[in-house]
Amino acid sequence: MDETGLTLKSELKQLISKVKSCKRNFACTRAGFNDVPKGSIINGGELVECYEDRAKNCNHSVPYGSGYYCSCPVRLFIASKLHK
């Protein structure tokens, strides 16, 4: 793993330690980030719009209109730094 990869891994570990709870036990961070719900960054990088129904079971998502919006720092990190 190169220096950038180590830095990202360290940042992610710090974020996970700061998040109080996750109903999914941070499943999005395992298996090469293959269980990350589909979504896109909105609101200047402050939210991720989630495109999957499982967002309704996430303690970090907020329903609005017909969609869900995630404010989880871990999910925001994955979207912004890893583009997933």
In order along the chain (84 residues), what is the average pLDDT of each group of 10 residues? 76 91 88 87 92 88 91 92 88
Q: Max Cα separation, the chain?
A: 42
0.95 exceeded by the pTM?
A: no
Please tell me the number of Cα atoms within 13 Å of 74 on its side-chain side.
Answer: 27
Cα–Cα distance measured from residue 77 to residue 56, given in angstroms and rounded to the nearest whole number:
20
Written as six digits, the tokens of 49 are 């719009």
Q: Residue 6: its pLDDT value, please? A: 80
Our CA angle for 31, 34, 37, nearest 5°, is 130
